[in-house]
A = this chain, B = another copy of it.
């Protein structure tokens, strides 16, 4: 097992920019990752909000190589590698581990629904066995609303027992505080990341590791401030102000909203492009989104210089 410290703090499922022909825009991606790292935000590239499941395996491998070649710190990366077919998951995971990433975020195979814990156990076990690398650190990705394949607490326990030091944490995107706290009660010290910052304070108080949040793409400093001062008297007030930004964003579909915001604050219309089945916000929606954020005094300082190539 690796002796590097486990991941903690705030990570962004980094939004993926696309060129006019919908191919990934590596230069803008590197720029945005630099901007995030400068704000102490880790890189959960290839997450749900990265449109990772709209990218081919080959595209994900090329993009990760690009980030590594650009000199970005792999220790701050937790790329998503979980696919429907285990050969794909094995390929992405092996490549990420070889690149020295801090961990991988692994969806269960998500096409077949109503599958058994035994089937999901075998899925993860196949991947661990075939990757066959002690440096592997898996964060299980529990997102029942999107994957429609929940990861039960029983399954977490079985995987931890079978693969100690490898199955080290979870991203809980259920939004269910009771569930998040139940996992931490069952497995104290488990590397638990809340799926968004509205549960960051609760998660840290329960012993969790941090959060991986869509909104960290645009509000990394605010969220990191809470992570650094969660034991201070200001914590509740910071949490409350984070929630205001989050609410303004999530009144619209998340990925289109994030791209609109980056596009607006970077003065870069190229950022406002998505792969189907996701669709950019309409004009009126975009105006309301930016207007609501401005009312909160929201800013993204330094973005223009980073987010553009």
A residues lining the B interface (CB < 8 Å): 22, 48, 53-59, 84-88, 91, 108-113, 115-116, 118-120, 122-123, 125-126, 145-149, 275-279
Contacts and interface: CB of A to CB of B under 8 A. Distances in A.
A146 B112 contact: yes
A120 B84 CA distance: 20
Which of A53, A112, A126, A147 has the most chain B CB atoms closer than 10 A to its own CB? A112
Nearest to A91: B56
Contact of A279 (B116, B126, B276): B116
A126 B85 contact: no
Contacts of A113: 145-146, 148
Given A110-B111, A276-B109, A277-B119, A54 B84 contact: yes
A51 to B, nearest CB: 8
B277 A109 contact: yes
B277 A120 contact: yes
Contacts of A279: 115-116, 118-119, 122
A169 to B, nearest CB: 21
The 10 closest A-B pairs by CB, nearest first: A119-B277, A53-B111, A122-B276, A123-B276, A115-B277, A56-B87, A53-B84, A119-B279, A123-B277, A56-B85
A92 to B, nearest CB: 11
A148 B114 CA distance: 12
A53 B112 contact: yes
Contacts of A145: 113
A54 B85 contact: yes
Nearest to A126: B276
A116 to B, nearest CB: 6
A277 B86 CA distance: 9
B276 A111 contact: no
A54 B278 contact: no
A27 to B, nearest CB: 20
B85 A276 contact: no
A18 B26 CA distance: 38
Nearest to A111: B53
A280 to B, nearest CB: 10
B126 A86 contact: no
A150 B113 CA distance: 15
A277 B53 contact: no
A48 B114 CA distance: 14
A122 to B, nearest CB: 4
A277 B59 contact: no
A252 to B, nearest CB: 12
